[in-house]
Amino acid sequence: MADKTVDGGPWTGCAVMFLQSLCPGVNLLSLYKDPQGKFIIFKVIKLTLTDSAGGLGTFEILKVHDADPFLGVEVKFVNVAACRQFLESYSSGAVRQYLCQHACRLLALPQELTVETQLKAGTHILDRCLDKLDLCLQHINLSQPERLRDEEIDELEQQLQSQARGPASQSVITQEESPVPSNCFKFQNRVFEDRMLTAADVQSFSNGVGRQWKHVGRALGKNCRALKGPAIDNLAYEYEREGLYEQAYQLLSRFIQAEGRAAKLSRLVKALEDCKLTSLAENILDLQPRE
């Protein structure tokens, strides 16, 4: 499908995802209505969409609303590739998996979360035609947003950005004036213990970096011989058919294989910062178990 809308402009489209927890005692709609829970649920949704649509900048949350018993999330996609990747993630069950993982972590739930979802574009229920992705894309493309982003969403986005720049949590050592220990690194005025990259880091990076993986690869390549010269373009060519996730996965795997014990978390975080992907860096850090 071409990267154009029906009127010949850039491709955009709108869909509404409906979410409902099937676990007793966990009501997503009630949590979102609660002033204390609203921000956490919004962050869960934002991280879920980032993972499933190929990274930040590929979508915009326009509104989160009451669709009792569901929580409705209106999403605008800004390019066809991101929308297709989201639909593939949704169809495979990955969206539900991401949602459950982030919700369990941020809500500190004692049990695994099970959710029911429904996806609509206009009057079309896309769950009924997920085996026809081009038809789903057409429905989403024809369902153009009827409103600007809700003011409440603006406030939540600002709060999310403020949290990223804000004071450290209790699990992170803050050393504003003290020198950073040799086994630590600093990120957004917080000090983290450095360590080798793990399989979980590779998965989080591959899920979230999207089309920016090449930029991160070149940033890592400044201090990694295995990623210099034509190495990045060769990876893109070799794994083109497997898609962005596999390309990003192979990039970081090659970095780890080449650098060994020197393939540290600090180097990946620095590369993400250099590429202005600080939200992805924060996501990776948040996913790590604390010592």
Asked if 27 and 131 sit in the same domain, the reply is: yes
Question: Domain of 194?
Answer: 184-285
Tokens of 284: 């990776």
Euclidean distance between CA atoms 224 and 132, whole angstroms: 42
Asked if 147 and 203 sit in the same domain, the reply is: no
Asked if 161 and 195 sit in the same domain, the reply is: no
Look up the CATH number of the domain holding residue 71: 3.30.70.680
Asked if 219 and 267 sit in the same domain, the reply is: yes
Q: Classify residue 65 as exposed, middle or buried by CB count within 10 Å of its CB (0-12, 13-18, 19+).
A: middle
Asked if 161 and 102 sit in the same domain, the reply is: yes
Among residues 134, 165, 196, the one where a domain terminates is 165
- Per the domain annotation, does 188 fall within a domain? yes
Average pLDDT value for the chain? 84
C-beta of residue 119 within 8 angstroms of C-beta of residue 125:
yes
Taking only the tens place, the pLDDT of each residue in 113-140 is: 889 999 999 999 999 999 999 999 999 9
Sequence-distant (6+) residues with CB within 8 A of 283 are 47, 50, 204, 208
Taking only the tens place, the pLDDT of each residue in 137-192 is: 999 999 987 767 788 888 888 888 877 665 544 444 444 445 677 778 888 778 88
Taking only the tens place, the pLDDT of each residue in 56-71 is: 778 899 999 999 899 9
pLDDT at 64: 93
Asked if 207 and 144 sit in the same domain, the reply is: no
Count up the domains in the chain and report the number.
2
Asked if 222 and 272 sit in the same domain, the reply is: yes
DSSP string, 35-80: HHHHHHHHHHHHHHHHHHHTSTTSEEEEEEEEETTEEEEEEEESSH
Is the pTM higher than 0.85? The answer reads no
Among residues 165, 193, 217, the one where a domain terminates is 165
Tokens of 199: 């399989």
Asked if 213 and 104 sit in the same domain, the reply is: no
Note the Cα 247 to chain centre separation in Å: 17
Look up the CATH number of the domain holding residue 239: 1.10.533.10
